[in-house]
Structure 1
Amino acid sequence: MRITTKPYSHSGPADSNWLGQQLGNSTGIQTDYWVFNFDSCYSYGYFSFAYPVDSPIPGITHNAGNTSYPVYPTGAPGIGYVVGIKDPKLGEWLSVKPPYQQVFPRPGTSAGAQSSLGFSVEMKLIATDRLKTGSHTIPSKVVATLRATDKNNQRIPRIDDVNLWLNSTVVNVKASGCTVTPGSVLQTVSLPPANTTEFSGVGSSTAQSARFSVGVDCDPDISVYATMTDATTPANTSETLSLGRGSSADGIGLKLYKSGESTPVKFGPDSSGKNNTNQWYVGKSSTGNRNITIPFQAQYVQTKPKIETGKVEALSTITFSYQ
């Protein structure tokens, strides 16, 4: 069986698709009632299965109706695929997921001997990362193996597996976005020294602070979002930046504030994906104003009841999303 998805072209912000979202109407569907014929055999088919070939992309799923699909790589940047499958006589799609998906009889049901077994297959292209400008060829590839078995769930003599193919297609992308200004790319921010007596308990801060800013130059009409990430502890989603490996102090962290705000920034994963955890809206560019600058302020914060004096180092990154 071979499936060709509908063409897809993208013109707009590079991160305008949700990760796990279908790209446009890029669906390909095919039904074949007679993938396996047993008329000339001395046995009948009782079961059919689909075995995926690729490994799913971690952390990304596509949800449609009541079905959650693992997303597989196409080989093109930022573009994955999902496979839905079902018996042609049944209405609800099943997901082709590891290690395999039973198709007939539908899981939770039973049926008898069949003189033939077929499949309805649906494939979609899915956003897996920021789309990059260019013409991206998705190569033709086998995405799953289809199999029929007998009443004992054993291979049937002279009934070979059938490959399910995704046919080659081209995705054209003209993505708009921003460029981080040169002075913002790598910065060292120095805070004044602090004394342990200036803290009053866990959660307290000192008056010392340091200011810095990050800027981007954008194409017109880009909604810019941002996520700060704790580079030492990337899974950190709190509002406290943890100490780096070069620190000798203990019981101290850092908080980062967008200038003029009293609530500190919460950290999130290093991802430009739309709706990333703790991602916030920065602003929108226009033809007359293509530069966006974010001023920040860094402060010490006490994180433990007892503070050990020493050197304080921390590392944070900022990831922009162009929506």
Structure 2
Amino acid sequence: MHNVCFGRRNRMRLAVAIAASSLALGIAFPAHAACRIVDGFAPAQGVVNWGIVAAPANVAIGSVIAKTDMKYDSLFTHQSWHCDGTSFNEYFTMDPRQVLSDIFETNIPGLGVRASVSLIGGNLSSSIPLNFSLDQAGQNTGKTDNMRVFIELVVTGPIDTSATDMLSYNAAGWHNVRDSFDGNILTLANLMIYAQINSPTCSVTQSSVAVTLPPARVANLSNPNSTTGATPFNLQLNCSLSSNVNVTLTDATDVSNRSTTLNLAPGSSASGVGLQILNGSTPIAYGPDSAAAGNMNQWLAGRSAGGPMTIPLTAQYVRASGALVPGTVKATATFTMSYQ
């Protein structure tokens, strides 16, 4: 009997020792270390909607045509978090389709998004993508109320709204923290950007304008550069948006012509005479057929208020070089508009 009791007591003590050992291991090594929200919710959805954005057709690459500057908590929501590790890695990401150093393309060719964050009162101010680590001597918590967000819509090339004018950009997993203990990631925020892009354009209400000048007397063109037969005419436009309308006239007979005298076209029988087109009292010089901003001999026709626009011009004869020979006079000029 004595031997049997002794054996039972020995087995009981062994079982208790094993249970205590298992309990101690459970306390020392947590099985599911991670970062978690302690105030607010995640992921927060930040939406920037710029509404209607005017996108001039000839704006320079790098120009900012819309922007947002606001506190993080106003764009998303206030968040604070705690990580089980002794530190955490905080990072911001953008869509990987990068078109310039810190600009990411949208669904509209020629337009990209640039974002940056700064710490209010701190020394961090950088464009995204941004990756930094915070090790605060055991203070393994973070919050968003000390952050500002800057978002810009940037021109990256010719803007093409032929497929759609509704801009959208979505950066899923925009703001994240990674726990230092086991690398678990908590996504704090997603970023979505919307706008309707309105590229100012004008359409010509008359595709061709015929101007008939009165007959001219040879005596009125006897002196060099003398003029006669001034005849007013208009270019009629319909513009979708308020913008500066710039015009370049091109000599269709000689596209290299940069003077103020329009050359006679084939079919003319007169010689020693040309034509001028005037903006007010100023003869217009001819330039290349291009809508590029700053094109040679481009001139400002006025500012469209949106809707119909009239550009008043005048055509007249001008004495040119060579012998003055009576006959018919024909000339053709084209015009190209640029919106700035």
Task: Output the TM-score relative to the length of structure 1.
Answer: 0.49
Larger radius of gyration: 2
Greater fraction helix: 2
